Chains A and B, each alone.
Chain A
């Protein structure tokens, strides 16, 4: 990748609509991990009601509630061309939860209404019968999309959603769910992975807990990255993986008890 002569523009899209679950943290982490390496970076907030520019290097779509999600969808559809062109031209997209649903074709709500997305990735979501909530652990897919550094280490997050997402046959999942619900459509996977694209149900937020994933995403913009001391982040990650596996064991035991009657 060419050396850059301007700061990386990390776009936090509609934080007041798609920021209910701390997903601002993903923007903060990418910006700081670039700056700490001496790479100029700028956090750009795209406020609700404003058009989404085609000039961002990273597009971050987070999770949100019902009404705000409808407004966000309308705004994203209005700026569909800008997002699609920017992505085709080399920009990176990280879409979480509601944001993940909206980069797909559509969201089929419980009341039968249809919320159209922008169709950037081949996936569709419908409202499920229950809220998937709690610690989630995902083993990332092996994929050439990760680049030379390879897949990041096991991912940890916290999920909180009603969505059941089915990804297209040609789309790779972000990974296999070890603990939790993820896409929740029975496929046992979470999210989606494509060229310079990560979609996921992992909040937490996901990047502070998973510094290797943060660096893969940053690396898609900057090329190779120098090492950065991430000891504190890895301690948090191990702590959360431990908590996640404890949840998994408890749930496995409960399911077993239920199966026995």
Chain B
């Protein structure tokens, strides 16, 4: 790969900054490293992406997991894959990922929702994979429809761009439609951000899994591709998804990843098998030792849609649950979403309120008639709960702290 002197200097500087960040235990180093690269060489992304076939994955929920599953399907097919496995998904995280590429091949990159419009062109993107959009960090990101509009502008500016997209999410359908789309209906359990038509603003009519606007006719696209129970039906073929990862949300992630892999030329059955081999993604579903012979399973939930999915899963298990919530910048500083989430589902389960905002959680559980302990430290909280099966469901910075502390022992 031909890289300019400036970009090579930038990468060296970035690697040094990343090393510094790691030895000072400030982080994993990807973000600071990328900032340095981008500052020294503003066109680094274009250069670094040369020789790669670039696929971008974005969504409010599931982008890290979908990226990992797609990379697994491509690797199983014998491709050389470069992927940002640490979840560093801003331009600053993408640059060091590409700088570390072993050679030409497939680049599968998770991208923050807001960053998508800025990187499609510089990276020479060949495939965009879009999962879902819902409210997340309202204090920072603003309103959901603004993101959908920004994505739609990308599709309008690139009518030939290939997109694999979820047909069940009105915001995604609105965003992707102007481009060359392969639809797959993944279902949408959280509809509270999809009440109005993204095209004309009137009330959207919902029947079962389909939406249709009574005003302008905007509707779920017709597609034979769909997630049906534990099977992905793709181009008329039924592919069983046997996942090691838990929950309905991971079935949707896997179905999206397999559809994208098939678009990239991977054999469908092979892709479906490959996604089943992934047991934990960047700490999600990771086992955390409690120090008393037991261990807890760590789950990430960042927003009402994610929490609702995770709670549905946990409520069906015979288990105890720790709800660990922070409200730092990366979590969103306003945890009012606690009241949009049906914590009532935890009634009858031993539970604990934890995290820096344990009091907000405790009051929410109190009003949900869920008996609970109050203990800020999630590990201590888990230890205090009975039973062999304990889930720690954590907001972003709580999750990251636990992943940093226990992730190194992950197999």
Contact = CB atoms under 8 A, between A and B. Distances in A.
B138 A160 contact: yes
B388 interface: no
B35 interface: no
Interface residues of A, number: 35
B339 A25 contact: yes
Interface in B300-344: 333-334, 336-340
A232 B362 contact: yes
A68 B195 contact: yes
Contacts of B121: none
B9 interface: no
Contacts of B406: none
Contact of B135 (A20, A23, A134, A236): A20
Nearest to A16: B195
Interface in A134-172: 134, 158, 160
B47 interface: no
Interface string A194-217: 000000000111001100000000
Given A32-B367, A67-B201, A71-B202, A16 B192 contact: yes
Nearest to B369: A32
A108 interface: no
Given A28-B339, A203-B334, A21 B138 contact: yes
A17 B196 contact: yes
A175 interface: no
B362 A236 contact: yes
B191 to A, nearest CB: 8
The B interface, classified by DSSP as helix, strand, loop or mixed, is helix
Contacts of B202: 71
A124 B363 CA distance: 34
Interface residues of B, number: 29
A27 B336 CA distance: 14
A208 B192 contact: no
Given A17-B195, A236-B363, A71 B340 contact: no
A22 B368 CA distance: 14
A65 B143 contact: yes
A202 B282 CA distance: 37
Nearest to A68: B196
A49 interface: yes
Nearest to B196: A67
A183 B191 CA distance: 31
A66 interface: yes
A158 B362 contact: no
Contacts of A232: 359, 362-363, 366
Given A29-B367, A67-B145, A160-B334, A208 B339 contact: yes
B394 to A, nearest CB: 19
B145 A239 contact: no
A158 B138 CA distance: 12
Interface of B: 135, 138-139, 143-145, 191-192, 195-196, 201-203, 333-334, 336-340, 359-360, 362-364, 366-369
Given A67-B201, A160-B139, A232-B366, 15 more contacts: A16-B192, A20-B135, A21-B138, A22-B340, A28-B367, A29-B367, A32-B369, A71-B201, A133-B139, A134-B333, A203-B334, A233-B363, A236-B359, A236-B362, A239-B359
